[in-house]
Amino acid sequence: MREIGHFIGGQHVAGKSGRTADVFQPMTGEVIGKVALASADELRAAVENAKAAQPAWAATNPQRRARVLMKFLDLVQRNYDELAELLAREHGKTIPDAKGDIQRGLEVVEFACGIPHLMKGDYTEGAGPGIDIYSMRQPLGVVAGITPFNFPAMIPMWKFGPAIACGNAFILKPSERDPGVPMRLAELMMEAGLPAGILNVVNGDKESVDAILDDPDIKAVGFVGSSSIAEYIYARGSAHGKRVQAFGGAKNHMIIMPDADMDQAADALIGAGFGSAGERCMAISVAVPVGEETADRLVEKLVPRVEALKVGPSTDLAADFGPLVTREALNRVKSYVDAGVSEGAKLLVDGRNFTLQGYEDGFYMGGCLFDRVTPDMRIYKEEIFGPVLSIVRAADYREALRLPTEHEYGNGVSIYTRDGDAARDFAAKVDVGMVGINVPIPVPLAYYTFGGWKRSGFGDLNQHGPDGVRFYTKTKTVTSRWPSGIKDGADFVIPTMG
């Protein structure tokens, strides 16, 4: 059985706390490893290591920092299959989905390779008599990321790629459920030439999270997870004077207008709702057809598609999705389906009793489809994070717009229509952070920023793109004047540009 410790100062370090967590293989349900859970003292040791290494890295010119990231990109490409298999083994995603996880992370690292340009400041010559003003971006120092189980490659790279490019040292606390890929990424960063101590991986649970939030030398923290924990991290980290970007849960809607291509909309809902067993913060979990006729046509298209979904082990390249990450996650999702039935929603497709021959102990569940869901039901109000799609029928466009706008989550939303006016109006008015128009999963590309509104995001700056560079740097502004032409004697008037 594999023993997983920490990665500190450029090398693997065994855990010292005496506490561990099981790492499961969701396909079979078996325990395949033990991961160490760090104490506050172990976290502090990683911070000390990072703090000692960071000044020299910050003094390294940005072109050289970018070259390390370029080498890292090459190494990940060379090890793509190995990383995808490791990710699928610990998480349960299919191999193709695991490769997509890795690729979306790499795209942010590619963006961060432009750091010589991204960190450029501004310059104004002759801002006043003999006065020039310029600004510069400088790294914060030691920063940290707390990342979730559902994207064990992508989100760590979203965090440490820009942070390290900006000249910071990084402490990564990945999910203890699937720690293998983050550890392997740290190894590849070292192989790419990153100095020891600039990227440290500390595995752990709430004890190490609290140590990150309380540590005075950690200047910023990025988090992705549930909204309740995001709010906790934002409040506690901010109380200790840190910058915090904390991204929480979601209840992403897809509006289907009467003029939409119904086959296209149904296919989009199937992929966005059931891919990765619904364990995505950007999964579409609510379909909102406008009008009863639209709803009936959508149901007619969806039911056979959901019934035909192929659930299989991660190694089955023909599978649409694999198992959930843990048995606890499986039981939680099933309990939501039970609640939906008891609240009066119409369960059109029931995947609760799905079993896979030869994998009876795996954490599998078939797709579930609800109709006649109403906004007062738990399955509408709460994030399920599983292969469950709910249909909420809207009488008209105004009601369809109101549903995502009034929901407590504001992560992503999509509209399917052929009407440009309706799409433009929807994008302008909906109170949600990321909008797709005939795009089911509106995750922006790496040179834009990713972030939801309301209880889907806490903090002023989003992930990756320009906001990522702003988050991991501070701006210094210099006002400069040289002796020529300076009059003698003190001047008690505040400087102006006159």
**pLDDT tens per residue across span 286-343:** 999 999 999 999 999 999 999 999 999 999 999 999 999 999 999 999 999 999 999 9
Residue 486 lies in a domain: no
Statement to judge: residues 238 and 298 lie in one domain: no
What pLDDT was estimated at residue 47?
A: 98
Q: What is the pTM (predicted TM-score) of this model? A: 0.94
Q: Are residues 244 and 261 in the same domain?
A: no
3-state helix, strand and coil shares in percent for the chain, rounded to the nearest 5: 40, 25, 35
Q: What is the CATH number of the domain that holds 312?
A: 3.40.309.10
Q: Which domain-ending residue is among 387, 405, 437? A: 437
CA–CA gap between residue 81 and residue 106 (Å, rounded): 14
52 found inside a domain: yes
Residues 52 and 182 occupy one common structural domain: yes
Residue 281 designated active-site: yes
Contact 277, 362 (CB under 8 A): no
Q: Do 166 and 108 belong together in one domain? A: yes
CB 379 within 8 A of CB 336: yes
Q: Give the DSSP letter of residue 491.
A: -
Classify residue 285 as exposed, middle or buried by CB count within 10 Å of its CB (0-12, 13-18, 19+): buried
DSSP-based three-state secondary structure for 35: strand
- On whether the CB atoms of residues 245 and 459 are closer than 8 A, the answer is yes
Residue 99 included in any domain: yes
Rounded to an integer, what distance in angstroms lies between the CA atom of residue 445 and that of residue 389? 26
Q: Is residue 324 part of a domain?
A: yes
CA dist 269 → 91, 272, 428 (Å): 23, 5, 23
Q: Are 295 and 343 in a shared domain?
A: yes
Q: Which of 113, 166, 281, 368 is catalytic?
A: 281
Claim to verify: residue 413 and residue 469 sit in the same structural domain: no
Question: Domain check: are 472 and 387 in the same one?
Answer: no
> Is residue 310 domain-resident?
yes
Domain membership flag for residue 128:
yes
The per-type count for the chain, helices as H runs and strands as E runs, is 16, 23
pLDDT of 156 reads 98
Assess whether 285 and 235 both reside in one domain: no
Residue 442 within any structural domain of the chain: no
233 lies in the same domain as 279: no
Say which CATH number the domain at 42 has.
3.40.605.10
Ranges under pLDDT 70 in the chain: 484-488, 495-498
For residues 293 and 243, membership in a common domain is answered with: no
Q: How many domains does the chain have?
A: 2
- DSSP assignment, residue 149? S
Residue 137 counted as domain residue: yes
Query: Which residues 6+ apart lie within 8 Å of 486 measured at CB?
Result: 130
Q: How far is the C-alpha of 168 from the C-alpha of 166, rounded, in Å? A: 6
pLDDT score for 496: 67
Residues 6+ apart with CB under 8 A from 380: 251, 286, 373, 374, 390, 392
pLDDT tens digits along 92-148: 999 999 999 999 999 999 999 999 999 999 999 999 888 999 999 999 999 999 999
Give the 3-state secondary structure of residue 146: strand
SS (H, E, C) 374-410: CCCCHHHHCCCCCCEEEECCECCHHHHHHHHHHCCEE
Domain extent, residue 319, equals: 252-437
Question: Domain check: are 230 and 260 in the same one?
Answer: no
Q: Give pLDDT, residue 451.
A: 93
Residue with tokens 């030439």: 193
Distance CA 261, CA 415 (A): 12
Compute the distance between CA of residue 306 and CA of residue 120 in angstroms, rounded to an integer.
Answer: 50
CB contact burial 457-483 (16+ within 10 A = b; e otherwise):
bbbebbbbbebbbbbbbeeeeeeeeee
Q: 259 and 244 in one domain?
A: no
How far is Cα of residue 136 from the mean position of the Cα atoms in its chain? 29
